[in-house]
């Protein structure tokens, strides 16, 4: 692969040393010790949630789970840069973003347990439910952003997708429209190096960030395992969008340390040395080192953070296992925003079918 642009922007070295960068520094100047510690807590908690969900899948409690291990900084750093009225259009891996936006941990796993068609009400947290179709959410984001312009508000849409999604037509269409109408949307690409088993080099002979300027969209290529660089870049992009500057493309260079999903075995296609190398760039490790330098890490802080993470994991487990099965007729809810005659007829027919089992032995119980 030809390395056509400079190294990704980094504000935090692997040793946790703050690296000066005049164009980015002002955007994270407000992050004092406690603010950095809050980001660290988020990252520890989401990693713990992610690990627990993986275990729940292995125990038959979830049908599938897409781990985000290694991508905590990219997700937490960008999500924490958003305003409440901004709107997130995620893929299926942005569970840390959902957590930061206030989605209940139990709601995060609802879909993966096969318990609901979608896990939460998008409008209460301004996060759309995960798009499984690769790249489809980028179009939704551009559309939403065009709507924000018409509403004359300065809210911004941010859409998350992976390196593999950049090969999808949807993503390109979304960028064309975003550029044409200068829509306030941030294209946040987490280049985690692997589209299931395809290495990024197969579909990107140049850096992914280099594609956006072709659409007339400025792009930033940042170290996605550096939470400060992520937050600064996202803030720059959000500010540009809010002030009429149009879309921005961010390529956060990170690494999927786990499998694509729990149904995948990366050891079949990935060199173990590559994973070992990326472990040294672990986003949590780096922030921990900075906080240690700043004197923010004490045994009490460590214990409290761990306790918070364990509590979140316990809440997730209890909520997942104790989740009541949905009522069979609820499948008809939330299909259309307005009443629909065909759907009503189907609901009536299905209700009749259900009563054919008698009242005592409903077929929906158990699994």
Is 367 a residue that touches another protein (CB under 8 A)? yes
Give the range of 22-30, 202-210, 228-236, 315-323 binding another protein by CB under 8 A. Answer: 315-323
Give the range of 92-100, 132-140, 255-263, 342-350 binding another protein by CB under 8 A. Answer: 255-263
**Count residues contacting another protein (CB under 8 A)?**
32
Which of 164, 160, 10, 19 has its CA nearest to residue 94?
Answer: 160
The CB-of-55 to another protein minimum distance in angstroms stands at 4
Is 352 a residue that touches another protein (CB under 8 A)? no
Give the range of 97-105, 147-155, 248-256, 262-270 binding another protein by CB under 8 A. Answer: 262-270
Among positions 38, 133, 196, 304, the unique one binding another protein when judged by CB under 8 A:
196
For residue 67 the two structure tokens come to 């781990």
Among positions 322, 337, 339, 352, the unique one binding another protein when judged by CB under 8 A:
322
Among positions 174, 264, 290, 305, the unique one binding another protein when judged by CB under 8 A:
264
The CB-of-322 to another protein minimum distance in angstroms stands at 4
Helix H or strand E encompassing 45: helix 33-58
Using CA of residue 340, residue 341, residue 346, residue 352, what is the dihedral sign?
positive
Decide whether 196 or 335 has the Cβ nearer to another protein: 196
The single residue of 47, 80, 256, 288 carrying the catalytic annotation is 256
DSSP letters for 158-203: EEEEETGGGGSHHHHHHHHHHHHTT--EEEEEEE-SEETTEEHHHH
Active-site residue flag, 41: no
Is 294 a residue that touches another protein (CB under 8 A)? no
Give the integer Cα–Cα distance in Å for 137 and 87: 12
Is 363 a residue that touches another protein (CB under 8 A)? yes
Please, is 243 exposed, middle or buried when counting C-beta atoms within 10 Å of its C-beta (0-12, 13-18, 19+)?
exposed
Decide whether 52 or 86 has the Cβ nearer to another protein: 52
Give the integer Cα–Cα distance in Å for 119 and 130: 9
Helix H or strand E encompassing 106: helix 105-110
Among positions 25, 61, 210, 315, the unique one binding another protein when judged by CB under 8 A:
61
Active-site residue flag, 172: no
Is 360 a residue that touches another protein (CB under 8 A)? yes
The single residue of 48, 113, 235, 260 carrying the catalytic annotation is 260
The CB-of-115 to another protein minimum distance in angstroms stands at 10
Give the range of 92-100, 150-158, 214-222, 259-267 binding another protein by CB under 8 A. Answer: 259-267
Helix H or strand E encompassing 251: strand 248-253
Is 321 a residue that touches another protein (CB under 8 A)? yes
Give the integer Cα–Cα distance in Å for 4 and 201: 13
Among positions 262, 282, 290, 309, the unique one binding another protein when judged by CB under 8 A:
262
Active-site residue flag, 48: no
The single residue of 83, 205, 206, 269 carrying the catalytic annotation is 269
Is 52 a residue that touches another protein (CB under 8 A)? yes
The CA–CA distances, whole Å, from 289 to 13, 45, 230, 286, 332 equal: 10, 18, 17, 5, 51
Give the integer Cα–Cα distance in Å for 253 and 283: 12
Helix H or strand E encompassing 102: none
As a 3-state breakdown, the chain gives helix, strand, coil percent values, each rounded to 5, of 50, 10, 40
Q: Which residues bind another protein (CB under 8 A)?
A: 52, 55, 57-61, 63-64, 196-197, 259-265, 267-269, 271, 318, 321-322, 356-357, 360-361, 363, 366-367
Q: Which residues are catalytic?
A: 256, 260, 269
């Amino acid at each position: 692969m030809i390395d056509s642009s400079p190294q990704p922007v980094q504000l935090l070295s692997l040793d946790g040393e703050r690296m000066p960068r005049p164009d980015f520094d002002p955007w994270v100047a407000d992050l004092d010790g406690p603010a950095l510690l809050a980001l660290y807590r988020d990252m520890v908690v989401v990693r713990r949630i992610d690990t627990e969900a993986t275990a729940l899948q292995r125990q038959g409690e979830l049908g599938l789970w897409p781990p985000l291990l290694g991508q905590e900084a990219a997700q937490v750093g960008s999500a924490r840069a958003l305003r409440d009225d901004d709107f997130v259009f995620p893929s299926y891996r942005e569970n840390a973003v959902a957590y930061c936006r206030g989605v209940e941990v139990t709601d995060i796993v609802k879909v993966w347990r096969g318990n609901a068609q979608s896990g939460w009400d998008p409008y209460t947290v301004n996060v759309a439910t995960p798009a499984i179709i690769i790249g489809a959410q980028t179009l939704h984001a551009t559309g939403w952003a065009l709507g924000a312009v018409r509403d004359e508000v300065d809210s911004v849409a941010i859409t998350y997708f992976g390196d593999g999604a950049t090969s999808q037509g949807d993503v390109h269409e979304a960028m064309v429209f975003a550029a044409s109408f200068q829509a306030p949307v941030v294209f946040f690409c987490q280049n985690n190096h692997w589209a299931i088993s395809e290495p990024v080099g197969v579909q990107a002979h140049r850096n992914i960030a280099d594609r956006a300027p072709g659409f007339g969209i400025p792009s930033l290529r940042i170290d996605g395992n550096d939470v400060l660089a992520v937050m600064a870049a996202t803030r720059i992009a959000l500010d540009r969008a809010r002030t009429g500057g149009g879309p921005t493309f961010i390529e956060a260079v990170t690494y999927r340390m786990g499998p694509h999903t729990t149904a995948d075995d990366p050891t079949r296609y990935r060199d173990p040395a590559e994973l070992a190398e990326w472990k040294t760039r672990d986003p949590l490790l780096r922030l921990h080192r900075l906080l240690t330098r700043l004197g923010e890490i004490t045994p009490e802080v460590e214990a409290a953070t761990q306790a918070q993470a364990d509590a979140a994991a316990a809440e997730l487990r209890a909520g997942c296992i104790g989740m009541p099965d949905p009522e069979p007729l609820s499948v008809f809810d939330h299909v259309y925003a307005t009443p629909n005659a065909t759907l009503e007829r189907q609901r009536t027919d299905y209700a009749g079918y259900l009563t054919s089992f008698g009242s005592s032995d409903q077929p929906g119980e158990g699994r």
